[in-house]
Structure formats: C-alpha cells, structure tokens
Amino acid sequence: MQAAAYGGCDEIILPAESPGFFSLYCIVRSAQMGLLSGLMGNASEVNVDELEDEFKDVLAEGEQIELAFKLIRDLIIFTDFRVIFVDKQGITGKKVEYHSIPYKSVTQFIVETAGLGVDDAEMKIWVSGQSQPIEKEFKGGTNIIGVQRALAAAIRGKK
C-alpha cells in the first residue's frame, strides 16, 4: 500500500489473521504523527524543542520539558518537576485544561493495558492528600507502556 494514501503513514501493516474485526497498523517514521495514526489514538513522542515556546507561559522559571507524548490533540508533558496533562477541549481546541501533578505528590500509579475486546488503556495516579486517583484514559494503540516508563523514571528521580 502507498503511504501517502493513508494519512502520512510510512508503512501500513495488515495482520495476517484478524480475530473477527479489521485492523491495521500505521507505522510513522517521520517526525510528525500521521493523520491515520492520530485518528487511531496512537501516542507518539514529541520533540521537546517544538514545545518549549508553546508552553513557556505554563512552565515555571527554570523548569525544563524532558519528554512529551502527543495523543491526537492532547499532550502528556514530563518536566524536571512535574507531569502536565494538556487537554484541548471543544471543537476548536482553544479551551485548554492544564492538570499539573508534582512528582513528589505521586504516591502510586497503575497502568492497565488494553485487552482482547477492550480498546482503551487506563492510567490511575494517586496523589497525596486525595483519596481518589486521577484517572486518564488512552485510546487503543497508545504507547501506554512508554508513558508508564517515563512516569516511573520521573518519580524515581524526584523522591
């Protein structure tokens, strides 16, 4: 299949056996996430240099972005101090929610990967002083293990 016909995918992989439903995987080797990959909900790592200017007003003085993942319009940003969930809301995405969680406040977290017949993955983060976790849902195909690894490394380094 030609990549250009499928929203910027560099390669399309069709599984040899499909368990009753059609699925395909979009491989994007370029720096930007392809349209099809984005529509499928895949989280991709973002070049932090591209985000520095966009989020300069959100970051504290001296705070540095270390890693970021893009999920369609939303972002998960790992800085040297906190994780920021950026939720662009509405049709235009002009309304934005910034949910900041300092690493030192995280007491535990759970990552639940998608299973057979379940498309979504889930992350729950418990913050000191709150009885209920912060819950974030990720669409099927999200690199939830990459997000989990980044959060674990950040917490380990900040305790």
Regarding whether 74 and 17 lie in a shared domain, the answer is: no
- For residue 127, name the pLDDT band (cuts at 50, 70, 90): very high
User: 82 and 137: one domain?
Assistant: yes
Higher pLDDT, 154 or 118: 154
pLDDT for res 132 = 93
Cα 121 from Cα 128, distance rounded (Å): 23
Domain that holds residue 21: 3-39
Are residues 115 and 55 part of one domain? yes
pLDDT of amino acid 34: 39
Do 18 and 65 lie in a common domain? no
CB 43 within 8 A of CB 71: yes
Residues 52 and 105 in one domain: yes
CATH number of the domain where residue 143 is located: 2.30.29.50
> How many domains does the chain divide into?
2
DSSP at 115: -
Mean pLDDT across the chain: 72
Task: DSSP letter for 37, please.
Answer: H
Does the reported pTM lie above 0.85?
no
Tokens linked to 21: 């439903």
Token reading at 72: 């369609």
Contact 51, 77 (CB under 8 A): yes
* 30 and 90 together in one domain: no
Does residue 117 share a domain with residue 56? yes
Largest CA distance in the chain: 52
DSSP 72: T
pLDDT at 11: 44
pLDDT tens readout for residues 15-73: 444 333 333 333 333 333 333 333 334 556 778 888 888 899 999 999 999 888 887 77
Are residues 57 and 31 part of one domain?
Answer: no
